[in-house]
């Protein structure tokens, strides 16, 4: 019997989930989507483009799965949305080639991290608000130096061994290529957006990079800290930015790979 591969494009609010990966007794994105598929008679494990942590949101997450059924794409998208909990939306469904894999076929992933001093009220649920007594004890209100943040992150661009910014023991291959690391300043708001893009990232790597940049922006660490960590391969022992400020903004594939319905 013929096997068919499908892809789904997902948007979700990280506040509603304890991350992407299924965990017993906890609400996760994987469990919500697999349960929705099961309600349609499709029992299939998901492959995911980017495994997000607890609190992390996504505007353009992609998952793929194999099924023997010839599924109507509009009905597939509608069925996932009808069964999905609040905070999760299926934006599109696609039939893809059997060799497609949501993670392995992706060319790049783009993340956006919001930091406010303090966070604007409308964005507060998805923004790291400073001052933060937990992260920087005793530090009161202080402006972020976006130039220092940009200088700090500039050392991440290119191919490097990011072993010092990974979770201990998570992955054996720790070399990654970062193609973009920008700090964008909002007009008229005490808000910056850190944009990081690359083929792939280690677990906790993006949040550790942001933590390094914010420390530099507050004058608590030199902008050369990341350069020194990459050269020495020492473990990063600074602040890890909280998950709720991070959003998976875009996953890119080769042109023509996905046609969404």
> What is the Rg, in whole angstroms, of the alpha carbon atoms belonging to the chain?
19
Burial status of residue 98 (CB atoms within 10 A of its CB: 0-12, 13-18, 19 or more): exposed
- Is there a common fold for 4-105 and 108-249? yes
Q: What is the mean pLDDT of the chain?
A: 95
Q: Of the ranges 61-65, 165-169, 180-184, 224-228, which one carries the lowest mean pLDDT score?
A: 165-169
Give the pLDDT of residue 142: 87
> For the chain, how are helix, strand and coil distributed in percent, rounded to 5?
25, 30, 45
How far is the C-alpha of 219 from the C-alpha of 2, rounded, in Å? 60
CATH code at 4-105: 3.30.70.580
Give the pLDDT of residue 112: 98
Q: How many Cβ atoms sit within 10 Å of the Cβ of residue 201?
A: 20
What's the pLDDT tens digit per position in 96-114? 999 999 999 999 999 999 9
Q: Which residues contact 54 (CB under 8 A, 6 or more apart)?
A: 14, 17, 18, 19, 243
Give the 3-state secondary structure of residue 202. coil
Give the pLDDT of residue 71: 96
pLDDT over threshold 70, residue 1: no
Q: What are the extents of the domains in the chain?
A: 4-105, 108-249
Distances (CA, A) of 91 to 58, 99, 194: 12, 22, 25
The architecture of the domain spanning 108-249 is 2-Layer Sandwich (3.30)
Please give the structure tokens belonging to residue 217.
């922006």
Q: Do the beta carbons of residue 13 and residue 32 sit within 8 Å?
A: no
Q: How many Cβ atoms sit within 10 Å of the Cβ of residue 84?
A: 18
The mean per-residue pLDDT over the stretch 234-245 comes to 93
Sign, Cα dihedral of 170, 174, 180, 184:
positive
Question: In the 8-state DSSP scheme, what is residue 39?
Answer: H
* Percent with pLDDT over 70 in the chain: 98
Give the pLDDT of residue 170: 67
What pTM was computed for the model? Answer: 0.95
Q: Please give the positions annotated as active site.
A: 53
How far is the C-alpha of 117 from the C-alpha of 145, rounded, in Å? 11
What's the pLDDT tens digit per position in 11-30? 999 999 999 999 999 999 99
What's the pLDDT tens digit per position in 110-166? 999 999 999 999 999 999 999 999 999 999 888 899 999 999 999 999 999 999 998
Nearest to 19 by CA among 52, 49, 63: 52
Phi and psi, residue 161, nearest 5°: -90, 110
Alpha helices (H) along 84-237: 146-154, 205-217, 225-232
The mean per-residue pLDDT over the stretch 80-104 comes to 97
The mean per-residue pLDDT over the stretch 50-64 comes to 97
How many whole angstroms from its chain centre is CA 177?
Answer: 16
């Amino acid at each position: 019997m013929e096997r068919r591969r499908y892809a789904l494009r997902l948007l979700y609010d990280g506040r509603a989930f304890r991350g992407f990966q299924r965990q017993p007794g906890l609400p996760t994105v994987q469990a919500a989507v697999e349960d929705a598929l099961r309600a349609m008679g499709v029992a299939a494990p998901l492959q995911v483009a980017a495994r997000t942590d607890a609190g992390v949101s996504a505007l353009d997450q992609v998952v793929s799965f194999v099924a023997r059924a010839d599924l109507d794409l509009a009905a597939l998208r509608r069925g996932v949305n009808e069964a999905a909990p609040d905070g999760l939306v299926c934006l599109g469904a696609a039939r893809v080639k059997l060799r497609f894999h949501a993670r392995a076929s992706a060319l790049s992933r783009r993340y956006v991290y919001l930091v406010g001093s303090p966070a604007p009220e409308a964005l507060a649920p998805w923004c790291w608000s400073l001052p933060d007594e937990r992260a920087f004890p005793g530090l009161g209100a202080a402006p972020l130096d976006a130039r220092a943040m940009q200088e700090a992150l500039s050392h991440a661009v290119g191919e490097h061994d990011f072993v010092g910014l990974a979770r201990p023991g998570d992955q054996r291959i720790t070399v990654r290529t970062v193609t973009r690391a920008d700090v964008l300043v909002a007009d008229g708001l005490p808000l910056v957006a850190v944009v990081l893009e690359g083929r792939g990232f280690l677990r906790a790597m993006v949040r550790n990079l942001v933590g390094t940049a914010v420390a530099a922006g507050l004058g608590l660490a030199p902008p050369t800290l990341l350069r020194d960590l990459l050269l020495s391969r020492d473990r990063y022992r600074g602040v890890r930015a909280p998950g709720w400020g991070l959003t998976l903004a875009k996953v890119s594939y080769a042109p023509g790979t996905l046609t969404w319905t």
